[in-house]
Amino acid sequence: MPEPTGPRARPAADLPKTFGRARPVITGVRPTVDDGHYPAKGAVGERVAVEADIFADGHDELSAHVRFRHEAGVPWETAPLEPVGNDHWQGEFPVLRTGLHHFCIRATVDRFGTWLKDLQARAGAGQDLSVELVVGGALVGQAAARAKGVDRRRLAELADRLHRTAEVTGGAAGLDVASDPELRELMVRHPDFRPSARSKVYRVDVERARARFSSWYELFPRSASTDPSRPGTLDDVRARLPYVARLGFDVLYLPPVHPIGTTVRKGPNGAAEAGPGDPGSPWAVGAATGGHTDVHPDLGTVADFDRLVEAASAEGIDIALDLAFQCSPDHPWVTDHPDWFRKLPDGTIRTAENPPKRYEDIYPLDFETSDWRRLWDALRDVVEFWIGHGVRAFRVDNPHAKPLRFWEWLIANVRSEHPEVIMLAEAFTRPRIMEHLAKVGFTQSYTYFTWRTTARELEEYLTELTRSPTADYFRPNFWPNTPDILHASLQNGGRPAFIARFVLAATLAASYGIYGPAFELVEHEPRHPGSEEYLDSEKYQVRHWDLDRPDSLADLVARVNAIRREFPALQQNRTLRFHHVDNDQLLAYSKTSDAGTDGSGRTGPILMVVNLDPEVAQAGTVHLDLDALRLDPSEAFVVHDLLTDARHEWSGADNFVRLDPKILPAHVFHVEPLASRVP
């Protein structure tokens, strides 16, 4: 039989001095990832929510705190944890700079709190308190010795008063002194942590604020021209920046801007053969003019790219670049590093495929090559090259098709020198793989949002993303469409479906994106029935878009993004709560926040109600969780629709809504006190 382990297998003399006196037990600590193997995620300016189950033998009161500090070695700071019932404790601490933060939980028996509880019980039973007041005076005197300045003097005075009341009155008057809130506050401020139990030290990887809250807009540079006689360039993208800024986006994501191979180039709609003027897929990276660190000559030069990044920064926009770690047959690496590609028995290189789909214009890299170290370094150098040209955000193509250890290594290397870099994982794959990509460092991830269309599906999925331990490390980024995905709901639901899915994406998740201008111009024709591919997809051909079309959703997009910036409640996912509706075609949910992470923004709850039926008006009673909305059941309130500026007076938990998709399929309500109602 194996030898027993743990403290029982050791003589008591060999245990640490405080082991037997530190009575609390600390379990279920959050935020943690795989018991601390990976760091949880945070963002600059927010408060990290900490919780744990903390208990001890007997009936003593407990005291618990979270200790925290930045990895740079600054002194430890302390923030209190509060019991919320059933031995569960919660608290939070601020993070004000990027990098790893360490935290642990410390718990001890609250001797003063226990003494006060017992004193009050004895007083209620009519017992003599004189001895107990002497005991309490000693506890307060010890706190005075730990304190300094004014607190030290005041605690000493209160300790003396407890002693004197015990001597003069036999304890009858001492209860008032002991129960004084000032004394309790002073004792909390100067706790006795010895002996205390401590959790292990955990980590939180704190990124810049845009890691938590961001609005992404994707466009193809070659389709950015306003002149139908020519394809677009990077200069055309630069001219498009005011439009993107007016819509309210802060990240502009560009598909690969590199040279495109000509060998086995794909034609329109993915045709196996391309014509002389067909531009090919941007994801077939590499040609005689260069590879992953070059710009397609038709788009411009690296200098043009630099000007684009600079102009975008002036608009408050990050340029996000696609990382497509794959090559066309014409990529320089195919000749210079043939061992980086997997060969078939006849010596030819295997093309990319996802049976039955085949991508003859793309060679996947062989990450199992014996030369893997040089391959990894080359891919890291690609990222470093574009960081050197101002890129601070990357959308990573199909990361689940590359080794997970590679991403863990790459992201750690990049962020050790560039902690501001954001990486978005485009991984529509099995949940455990998506989760692991987040654990190893991806900032955000695409999700299954596109395929969650019913109220039940959305509520279950969002509850998993925001309320389970997954929320400690997995940041969702919701996309209602992408160049690869035109869901059937958008194909068949028309303009109301586009509006509903947009409002859902932009308000359910703190980060979201759209592929435009296809989205705001309600592009909805599939390549063929049953396909999720766009007809005449920009992946294979140049498109020209009329941004001034009267049916454009641009104004709605701009309004919703303005609401997101104005209301901090929509800039995080932690407070998302769903409210029951007696009609399963209506989805109601809310978010709350006191203020922005920088102290700005409008406070108060935001309540959304969305009609999921794009054809028929739906009505029902919303049963509000008043506690989640911080509302007094006895007081009426106003719901101010931020999309239409209409105001309605509501009261109590049950309120009626009706949404006609032909008018507007969604409410975005700011819940306001009745006094704020405009006559």
Which of 218, 397, 472, 613 does the annotation list as catalytic?
397
CATH 2.60.40.10, domain 7-206, yes or no = yes
Q: Is 9 helix (H, G, I), strand (E, B) or coil?
A: helix
**Average pLDDT of the residues in 490-515:** 98
Tell me if domain 7-206 and domain 214-261+290-325+373-568 are identical in fold.
no
> Is residue 678 scored above 70 in pLDDT?
no
Q: Are 143 and 186 in contact (CB under 8 A)?
A: yes
Pairing of strands 318-323, 251-254: parallel
| pLDDT at residue 8, as a whole number | 64
Is residue 426 flagged as an active site residue?
A: yes
> What is the C-alpha to C-alpha distance for residues 552 and 529, in angstroms, rounded to an integer?
25
202-207 and 393-397 strand pairing: unpaired
At 591-642, the pLDDT tens digits run 998 654 444 568 889 999 999 999 999 999 999 999 999 999 999 999 999 9
Q: What is the mean pLDDT of residues 182-188?
A: 93
Q: Residue 7's pLDDT is what?
A: 58
The average pLDDT across 22-45 equals 96
Amino acid at the residue 30: R
Q: What token pair was written down for 79?
A: 């923030």
Cα distance between residue 497 and residue 488, in whole Å: 10
Residue bearing tokens 């990486």:
423
Instruction: Report whether 474 contacts 438 (CB < 8 A).
Output: yes
Residues 274, 352: Cα–Cα separation, whole Å: 18
Question: 214-261+290-325+373-568 is classed in which CATH architecture?
Answer: Alpha-Beta Barrel (3.20)
Is 322 known to be catalytic?
no
The catalytic position among 236, 426, 520, 613 is 426
Percentage of residues in the chain with pLDDT exceeding 90? 88
Environment class of 366 (CB within 10 Å of its CB; exposed 0-12, middle 13-18, buried 19+): middle
User: In sequence order, which residues have a C-beta less than 8 Å from that of residue 622 and are 6 or more positions away?
Assistant: 579, 580, 581, 586, 588, 609, 654, 655, 656, 657
Report, in this order, helix, strand and coil percent for the chain, each rounded to 5: 35, 25, 40
Which fold is adopted by the domain 569-676? Answer: Immunoglobulin-like (2.60.40)
331-347: per-residue pLDDT in tens?
Answer: 999 999 999 999 999 99
Measured in residues, the chain has a length of 679
> Residue 679: is its pLDDT beyond 80?
no
Domain extent listing, the chain: 7-206, 214-261+290-325+373-568, 262-289+326-364, 569-676
Per-residue b or e along 372-411, where b marks 16 or more CB atoms closer than 10 Å to that residue's CB:
beebbebbeebbeebbebbbbbbbbbbbbbbeeebbbebb
The whole-model pTM stands at 0.93
Average pLDDT of the residues in 511-530: 97
Instruction: State how far the alpha carbon of 257 is from the alpha carbons of 219, 294, 298, 421, in Å.
Output: 11, 8, 10, 19
Helix (H) or strand (E) holding 306: helix 302-314
The per-residue pLDDT for range 428-441, each reduced to its tens digit, is 999 999 999 999 99
Neighbouring residues of 10: CB distance < 8 A, sequence distance ≥ 6: none
- The answer to whether 210 and 394 are in contact (CB under 8 A) is no
For the stretch 627-634, contacts whose Cβ atoms lie closer than 8 Å and that sit 24 or more positions apart, written own/partner, are 628/575, 628/577, 628/579, 628/590, 628/592, 629/590, 629/592, 629/605, 629/671, 630/592, 630/605, 631/605, 631/671
